[in-house]
Amino acid sequence: MPMPLPLAAAGGVPDYLSATAAVVLAAAVVGYLSARVRVLPIVGFLLAGVVIGPSQLGLVPTGEAVDAAAEFGVILLLFTIGIEFSLERLARVWRWIVLGGGTQVLLATAAGVGVVAMIGGDWRAGLFTGFLVALSSTAIVLKLLADTGRTGTTRGRLALSTLIFQDLAVVAMVLVVPLLGADASGGAGSLLRALAVAIGVIGLVLVVARRVMPPVLERVAALCSPEVFLLAVIAICFGTAYLTALAGVSVSLGAFLAGLVVSESRHSTHAFAEVLPLQIIFSAVFFVSVGMLLDVGFLLRNLPLVLGAAVGVLVIKTLTTTAALLPLRVGWRDALAAGLLLGQVGEFSFVLLTVGEGVGLSPLGRGEEGSQVFVATTVLLMVATPALAALGERMLPERGPRGDARSSPGGAAADGAATPGAAERSDHVVLLGWGPDSVELARDLRARGTEVVMTTLNPGGAGDAEALGVPVVRGDAMRAHVLQEASVEAARLVVVAEDDHEKAAQVASVARRLTTAPIVVRAHGGPDLKTLAEAGVDHVVDPEAVGRQRLHRTVLDRIGVPQVVRPGPGAGPDQGSWADTTRLVDYRWPADSGCPHGPSSRPVLPRSEGCVECQRGGHGWVHLRICLECGHVGCCDSSPGRHARAHHHETGHPLLTSAEPGDEWGYCFLDGTTVSRPERRPGG
């Protein structure tokens, strides 16, 4: 008997689908609007949650499906953070992390305890409140730094180092909070046992990260199957989270440790790029769910209280962060600017809030009212973060060039400079795809002093390239993050070496969105030039066509026939026009030209380097013209043969363009219309 489907056969909408559709639709619409008005999308997601939440429009009356998706978002967010950190990166910036971040967390926590004690609360509620306030939003701050190009500045690196310690501190906080509840038993002994279990789990995971996981991922990556690789990475993420949960440790810790496991593999960039789209989706749901927690009615009824709490948290966070960073000798300007940047409460505070509420704790020890004040304060500060960061930049401009080590005296910059983005590549060639052609090209370019970076999914190919000293980014070139790791935005040239011309077009399309550098595609089997042109490709090399040209040249050479005839009388050895047979010519005829034959123009490759008819007759030419319908190369009307016009009479193809360097015009034989500058595709 067949299993019944979980969805109704006709009529009726599953409860979870209504909530999920509302959340995802709201996130998509708000994300679009945020991009249009240049507002950080995370802020938009928070506001979307406020609007559709149960306390406002009530589009999502039940939160079970949303809560589950939000938990996935937290797991994937911590997983990707673990991948980005890596053990090596943690070791490089340990001084800023431990001294700056550690002091900030201690000071902010102590301030929270002191405030609660002043209003008559007990130390457990004070410690819980201090934990909540001590954390800042990793997602918002890192996104803001990346969007404004300030990740590599001194204050950006200070914020990053502090966030690293905060995210690591979440692990200990999640262990401690349950022991603060009224029903907790065992006291210090339970805490020590919990910490011992956590240390044991962390030690086991580190052993697996170093010894077991790299060869496992090597085997999976050797299949060159993005689907299998993605499933394997997700299995590592959720499998580790599940095992840590069985050991009594939080799934958040498990997800972060899973990221560290993957970060030790050579395929960490590949893994990050595959997981990132999922992380973006679920993280968007998470921030929408955070916004849904806000009760606007409560906010309006208690506006002075909420605003006072927001100002108080901002002051505490800014002062404690500044005080923690000043001993690093980075200067008061950068320390204070970093304090403003970290002045909000973080997304992981909601994870702690859920854990604390489960054992009877509440912010400020004020029960439901304290939770509502905390939620409202957090949402307001998250929304205000971009403005606070901009305020810090205007009031406290960084002295010297951005990221200049002079703004971090006393050697502190040496630690911070090790963070990613401090020394990106530039003016290099990016090879997207592995193969004998790519390897030989990389060898030749390096021999000529040109820096090369290769991306590939193939572990064997990556090993061959690295044996030549070529830096390799392991991952799918259709993922923007992989291309960014290869610094494609700063490249002087991008080469797409894919055997399948459809995939080559897809890769080129992603690359074109990130760079204005020329893109060269090697594509087999009569590539679709229209698709490649729309993808932003500048040059196309078809090995079969190149082989035919080489055969032609070799035969002519062996029988003593000159291969090339220089242009007409008076042309010097370096003069005359020549057509680049790899240049993708894509002139889109303007609709307002008055010429009805514009649709005849299509992307073409010049069929030859010169006028073949002139070469056959032993004649030269003055200028060359390219047919915009078939790519025929013929000589101009000033040349003796006038073969471009002859080609028109023979085929009826009406449109041509000049092959002369610097010429930007087209001509229609049928109408006698000259277009001064036909429209060109972006980057073409």
Residue 74, domain member (yes or no): no
Based on the fold, state whether residues 539 and 601 are members of the same structural domain.
no
Based on the fold, state whether residues 94 and 115 are members of the same structural domain.
yes
Residue 174, domain member (yes or no): yes
pLDDT tens per residue across span 215-255:
888 788 777 777 888 888 888 888 888 877 776 666 766 78
Which domain CATH number covers 595? 3.30.40.10
State the Cα–Cα distance between residues 635 and 462, nearest whole angstrom. Answer: 46
Residue 9, domain member (yes or no): no
Whose structure tokens read 């008819």?
613
State the Cα–Cα distance between residues 40 and 44, nearest whole angstrom. Answer: 7
Residue 6, domain member (yes or no): no
Read off φ and ψ for residue 583, nearest 5 degrees.
Answer: -75, 125
Residue 297, domain member (yes or no): yes
pLDDT at residue 679 greater than cutoff 70: no
Q: What is the pLDDT of residue 451?
A: 92
What average pLDDT does the segment 520-532 reach?
81
Helix ranges restricted to H, 86-225: 87-92, 94-95, 102-118, 123-134, 138-148, 154-176, 187-207, 213-222
pLDDT tens per residue across span 62-118:
556 666 766 777 777 778 777 776 666 666 677 888 899 999 999 999 999 999 999
- Residue 330 · residue 412 · CB < 8 Å: yes
> What is the side-by-side strand order in the sheet with 452-456?
472-474, 452-456, 429-432, 493-497, 519-522, 539-541
Based on the fold, state whether residues 313 and 346 are members of the same structural domain.
yes
Which domain CATH number covers 381? 1.20.1530.20
Would you tell me the crossing angle of helices 213-222 and 459-467 to the nearest 10 degrees? Answer: 110
State the Cα–Cα distance between residues 321 and 342, nearest whole angstrom. Answer: 8
Based on the fold, state whether residues 222 and 106 are members of the same structural domain.
yes
Domain that holds residue 47: 36-60+86-416
Based on the fold, state whether residues 482 and 614 are members of the same structural domain.
no
pLDDT tens per residue across span 562-610:
655 444 444 444 445 788 888 999 888 887 888 889 889 999 999 888 8
What average pLDDT does the segment 635-662 reach?
92
In SS3 terms, 621-655 reads as: CCCEEEECCCCCEEECCCCCCCHHHHHHHHHCCCE
Based on the fold, state whether residues 408 and 471 are members of the same structural domain.
no
Q: Which residues pair with 658 in a beta bridge?
A: 625
> What is the side-by-side strand order in the sheet with 673-675?
633-635, 624-627, 655-658, 666-668, 673-675
Q: Which long-range contacts (CB under 8 A, 24 or more apart) does 646-651 make?
A: 646/613, 651/627
Would you tell me the crossing angle of helices 154-176 and 303-325 to the nearest 10 degrees? Answer: 110
Based on the fold, state whether residues 382 and 255 are members of the same structural domain.
yes
Would you tell me the crossing angle of helices 303-325 and 367-395 to the nearest 10 degrees? Answer: 50
Q: Which of 416, 443, 463 corresponds to the end of one domain?
A: 416
Q: Which of 546, 562, 577 corresponds to the end of one domain?
A: 546
Residue 511, domain member (yes or no): yes
pLDDT tens per residue across span 539-574:
998 887 778 777 877 887 788 766 554 444 444 444
- Residue 283 · residue 73 · CB < 8 Å: yes
Residue 98, domain member (yes or no): yes
Based on the fold, state whether residues 412 and 433 are members of the same structural domain.
no
Chain-centroid distance of CA 381 in Å reads: 25
Q: Which of 528, 546, 564 corresponds to the end of one domain?
A: 546
pTM over 0.85? The answer is: no
State the Cα–Cα distance between residues 277 and 364, nearest whole angstrom. Answer: 37
Based on the fold, state whether residues 377 and 436 are members of the same structural domain.
no
Based on the fold, state whether residues 454 and 313 are members of the same structural domain.
no
Q: What is the pLDDT of residue 21?
A: 78
Residue 296, domain member (yes or no): yes
Based on the fold, state whether residues 506 and 628 are members of the same structural domain.
no
Q: Which residues pair with 92 in a beta bridge?
A: none
- The DSSP letter of residue 153 is S
State the Cα–Cα distance between residues 274 and 280, nearest whole angstrom. Answer: 11
- The DSSP letter of residue 348 is H
Which domain CATH number covers 489? 3.40.50.720
Classified as helix, coil or strand, 430 is strand
Least confident of 82-91, 149-158, 671-680: 82-91
Q: How many domains does the chain have?
A: 3
- The contacts of residue 656 (CB under 8 Å, 6+ apart) are 625, 626, 627, 628, 644, 648, 666, 667, 669
Based on the fold, state whether residues 636 and 533 are members of the same structural domain.
no
**Most distant CA atoms of the chain, gap in Å:** 103
pLDDT tens per residue across span 491-509:
999 999 887 777 888 888 8
